[in-house]
Chains A and B, each alone.
Chain A
Amino acid sequence: MRVLPSGSSALLVEVDDLDEVLGLYAALTEEPIDGVVDVVPAARTVLLVVDRARTTLGAVAQAVRETRPRPDRAGHGDRVELPVVYDGADLADVADHLGVEPEEVVRRHTGTEWTVAFCGFAPGFGYCTPDGEPWHVPRRESPRTRVPAGAVALAGEFAGVYPRESPGGWQLIGRTDVAVFDLAREPAALLRPGVRVRFVEAG
């Protein structure tokens, strides 16, 4: 764990891998450090935003160094099931890239549990990482200017669901009718860090 400076009101904690991010985020939300007002996980880091009226960067740095990441990702978080119609425009390309049939992509995508590691790109866009072997799917060479809300997609080591229509470079493999970000719902974001996700083939 490396604690890197981020100006006067934040610290960036860098760890070795995504599992450690998940474990550290779980630990920091279960037992919050006093004076830390936001905890933002990402692929290899966790950002801690500090209220300097309540604590100091030094005290937070020491507290995070003494924090033990939780070891078991499956033990935390709510569970969400997302029905998916696997008719994405890039399903065949993804299958080619992985050297399998499209049905096998669907079987693998539905055959594992995923964990939301972090959010980014847009409100409620959760980066989901699989249990077991990581996937490696390149981004599209040229991003689409318009990806519809509910598109289920893959890029790099992650799966995600577009919370609203936006541009995007991920490979589209299917779509879900579930609104993953809905301002009328509390909480608005369905795919929050730590949430366990299962994709199921819609009938």
Chain B
Amino acid sequence: MSDLVKVTIDGITVEVAPGTSILNAARQIGGDIVPPAMCYYSKLEGSGGKCRTCIVKVSKGSEKDPRPMPKLVASCRTAVMDGMEVQNITSPEVLEARSGVVEILLINHPLDCPVCDQAGECDLQNLSYEHGLQKTRYEFERRTFERIDIGDKIQLHMNRCILCYRCVFVADQITNKRVHGILNRGDHSEISTYIQTAVENDFSGNVIDVCPVGALTDKTFRFKNRVWFTKPVDAHRNCNHEKCNGKVTLWYKGEDVLRVTARKDQFGEVEEFICNECRFDKKATADWVIEHPTHISDTSVISSNHYDTFKPLPVIKENLALQEANKVELEKTAKF
């Protein structure tokens, strides 16, 4: 038996370890063929299988049993087989089904993106932009909830929740005591703390980062600024917490750190969970060692409108040779 199995996704063949899910195999290839995922989170055990946005078509089951799978399958929960052939963006059936899933995810979503702090880095916003309709066909009343303060640092907007369960898994696996969860069943399900308990734990702030929509947001950043006007910078500090290594992204507006988040990878998942002290209490540049600007994809709205104005360094003002060297730039600044 060979250790690796061969799987072909949208015509690209990759060899992966047996037991890998189709989604993770696609992520090893990367690029456009990676199915979007709203509930699956590779760092959280047991996540996935709820939102159905990652559905793909298996046109050939395996080398031994080449029959296609009868229905579209959730790629985060389906393991690859040797010789499996998968269609994602090459199959119109998948794209149509996915837009249907998006429509259903948006049924109870308030679409209050102009107000929501998550706008600009929201997975659901991206997904509906790519797959969704311009309008809704839903005619009934959307379910509404009052917003809840979970402690003084985290805001819960149940209206926006898509019930991905990621925050529940975070509370279960990253923190040592879970005080919130899903109440009720079916279309009555809601995230809640039951009796309004504050979620207080050293790692509770990570529910903000894993939330794919704006249901759990940072209260200290609430309405401070839009994401795309802030500049992300990677930084680190020596955190005393034994489980936190202090590697974060700082979101700057001018001189001020408006918000601290964990670093996210290309699939929107955090690289390492950070503790609440780093996230909420250390908001001065002096607390951090700044590494470099965070890489933001060109297609993200966060990278737009970041024109730089040239601010001459003090050393230039005194040195004539440097003034001569920067003549063109200095003339530009003199006009304004």
The answer to whether A binds B is no
Binding site for A on B (CB under 8 A): none
Binding site for B on A (CB under 8 A): none
